[in-house]
Amino acid sequence: MKKWNNKRGFTFIEVFLSITLFSIIMGAFLTHFLFFVKTCSKDTKILGITQELRCASNYIENTIRMCNYKKIIYNDKQKRFTGEDRNANKVYIDLSGKIQYEQNTLIYFYEDKRELRINKRGEHNILVEHIKEITVSEIIENKLIEIEVFGDQEKSVKTTIKIN
């Protein structure tokens, strides 16, 4: 029986070629991995923006419903909803883009800071940031309202609300 007794090891060319081949494979893998991470990061940011816009839209809709939506009136010139709370106090939902200091304003859109704010007890708490614009369209005057909230990355969310 023949005995293998090779103590020579690897040659320099064999080591160099194996390292080169390993580097090419790892470079290709790393390129694909970094592309995947970048794509996931971008998609996560877009989903976060869409989720924030949906939150703003839902909060506006729920506040309108809370204000006895059968008695709520929309003023197109002021971009403002006027309604009543449970205690029959006059309350406002202002989407004009101006800061509101009235005590009875429940929520308002502040365009300079690009924020939707809650105005409970005059605190001006921020609900959602990164809102470019909020548009309100009366589909049927004082009957059916469409609200669209625009945000970063050219994303928007629409909701339709029946009032009166």
Q: Is the pLDDT of residue 61 over 70?
A: yes
- What is the reported pLDDT for 35? 94
pLDDT category at 143 given cuts 50, 70, 90 is confident
Distance from C-alpha of 48 to C-alpha of 128, rounded to nearest angstrom: 11
- Angular region, 142: left φ>0, alpha ψ -120 to 50, beta rest: left
CB-based contacts of 148: which residues, under 8 Å, 6+ apart? 134, 135, 137, 156, 157, 158, 159
pLDDT category at 142 given cuts 50, 70, 90 is confident
pLDDT category at 16 given cuts 50, 70, 90 is very high
Q: Is the pLDDT of residue 99 over 90?
A: no
Q: Is the pLDDT of residue 68 over 60?
A: yes
Please give the average per-residue pLDDT across 16-43, as a whole number.
93
- What is the reported pLDDT for 67? 81
Question: Which of 146, 148, 143 has its CA nearest to residue 162?
Answer: 143
Distance from C-alpha of 113 to C-alpha of 130, rounded to nearest angstrom: 8
- What is the reported pLDDT for 37? 92
pLDDT category at 3 given cuts 50, 70, 90 is low
Average per-residue pLDDT for the chain: 87
Do the beta carbons of residue 70 and residue 164 sit within 8 Å? yes
Please give the average per-residue pLDDT across 135-150, as a whole number.
88
- What is the reported pLDDT for 148? 93
Please give the average per-residue pLDDT across 15-28, as a whole number.
94
Q: Which amino acid is at 54?
A: R
pTM: 0.75
